[in-house]
Amino acid sequence: SDVYKRQGGGNKSQKYEQEAAGSGIIVDQTDSELLIVTNNHVVENSDSLRIQFDGMDTKNAVEGYIKGTDSTADVAVVAVKLKDIPKDTLNTIKKATLGDSDTVSVGEGVVAIGNALGYGQSVTTGVISAKDREVTVQEKKMKLLQTDAAINPGNSGGALLNMKGELIGINSAKIASDEVEGMGSVSYTHLRAHET
């Protein structure tokens, strides 16, 4: 799913609205809600959230609300009320199947899915370049998976899948450099998934 947030700000004499886009992964469904996991930085400081499912027109995006966040792990859970989701959309969506990121090997093929650049769902492929790479993300040190699959703004919160189609992580950060030969952009994935 694609996650859009609206953020207000400014002072008494000057106010502004800003819209940002990110991605999310359907992880569960209760009797009344659909639960979507994303990055905390995708939804933090938002005044409202609009969720657009694949195949849904932007004007039909549904309201979402934050269920919980963990800023340390940069993870958030967003909920959408089932009654707000059109029946034809609800019948076509499925929750993600969790894999195990601990069993991932360097060189293993991966697929990244997300709302790249806010244009809607896109898919890129690559390999796991490194495991347990220590990276500072928003002033926090984290050990992350590294992939060379193309990740762009708007992909944050999107799925990183293994070749079985299982969720092994959430795409989080991109570091680009023209100083490193053969590695122009490096993408990092966290919220390492484990079957329970």
Q: Specify the 3-state DSSP secondary structure of 122.
A: strand
Query: Residue 139: which residues within 8 A CB-CB, separation 6 or more?
Result: none
Lay out the sheet containing 15-23: strands in order across.
15-23, 2-10, 48-52, 62-70, 75-81, 33-38, 25-29
User: CA-to-CA distance for 149 and 129, rounded, in angstroms?
Assistant: 9
Could you tell me the maximum CA-CA distance found in the chain, to the nearest angstrom?
A: 55
User: CA-to-CA distance for 156 and 176, rounded, in angstroms?
Assistant: 15
At position 145, the amino acid (one-letter code) is L
> For residue 80, which of 2, 20, 194 has the smallest C-alpha distance?
2
User: CA-to-CA distance for 189 and 181, rounded, in angstroms?
Assistant: 22
Return phi, psi of residue 87, to 5°: -60, -40
Residues with a catalytic annotation lie at: 41, 74, 156
